Amino acid sequence: MGKSIAIDGPAGAGKSTIAKLVAKELGFIYVDTGAMYRAMALYLIRQGIDRNDTLQIEKACEDADISISYENGRQVVLLFGENVNDYLRTEEVGNMASMSSVNPKVREKLVALQQKLAAQKDVVMDGRDIGTVVLPDSRCKIYLTASSQVRAQRRYDELAEKGEKADISKIEADIIERDHRDMTREHSPLKQAEDAVLIDSSELTIEEVKNAILAEAKKRL
Ligand code: DC
């Protein structure tokens, strides 16, 4: 088992931005577990599977060939060998990922892949259940959150930068719905591990959050 930093928290709290910076600083690899759930969701969408059809989801999950590689330090998610990174960040895929990730078969398959990666390398891994389920023995666990308003604003700005129009109240409603689903699901719900440090990024800059995590890593690893 390599060294690890486990970062959990709700959608839009800044986990991936921060985790990438921390990984770079420490020379660890960054593992974006949400991207794996999104790749599974993309496969389900491509197969035309209904998001409520548990049996079809489980069957597709058995067939799905998802793997991870690294190109210039960047995580690449491969679906049957195809680099699908460019298709993962849509609202449609995010919503399907939130629905299909409640399924224990989907979780079992992707958790095994995540644990294998952490066994081979030093990792900064982000997701919802990293400190509680995937890497329960990690010595450095962070729970990163921010208010739903701030998270909606960040998402809105991100879309505006890409020239996409969006309705901020709809974004916030989606965020609240997704949080609720992620936090109340039966298997591996999103929650702060008992030994995780809580960081609320609502009023902090990226630099401040990065430094707070690096300070924890220095103490704990
Ligand atoms: O972090 P993200 O928005 O890319 O994640 C997409 C969905 O995947 C999210 O709604 C919940 C799910 N997920 C999960 O259940 N467990 C993880 N470790 C990571 C993501």
Flag whether pLDDT at 198 surpasses 80.
Answer: yes
User: Considering the entire predicted model, what is its pTM?
Assistant: 0.94
Average pLDDT, the chain: 96
Q: How far is the CA of 178 from the centre of ligand 1 (A)?
A: 10
The ligand 1 atom nearest the CA atom of 11: 3
**What is the Cα 162 distance to its own chain's centre?**
21
In the chain the domains, ranked by start, together with CATH numbers, are: 1-28+122-221 (3.40.50.300), 32-121 (3.40.50.300)
**pLDDT score of 78:** 98
* CA 27 / ligand 1 centre spacing (Å): 24
Measured from CB, residues less than 6 Å from any atom of ligand 1 are 11, 33-34, 37-38, 94, 97-98, 101, 127-129, 178, 182
Rounded CA-CA distance 217/221 in Å is 5
Distance 194 CA to ligand 1 centre (A): 20
1 has a pLDDT exceeding 80: no
Each residue of 83-127: pLDDT tens digit?
999 999 998 999 899 899 999 999 999 999 999 999 999 999 999
**Ligand 1: distance of its center to the CA of 98 in Å?**
6
Residue 95 CA, closest ligand 1 atom number: 10
How confident is the model at residue 91, as a pLDDT?
85
Beta strands in the chain (DSSP E): 4-8, 29-32, 66-71, 74-79, 82-83, 123-127, 140-145, 197-200
Asked if 191 and 183 count as a contact pair (C-beta separation under 8 A), the reply is yes
Q: What is the C-alpha to C-alpha distance for residues 134 and 50, in angstroms, rounded to an integer?
A: 28
Across the range 168-180, mean pLDDT stands at 94
pLDDT tens digits, residue range 9-35? 998 899 999 999 999 999 999 999 999
Q: Which of 128, 134, 187, 190 to mutate to test the pocket of ligand 1 (most atoms within 8 A of CB)?
A: 128
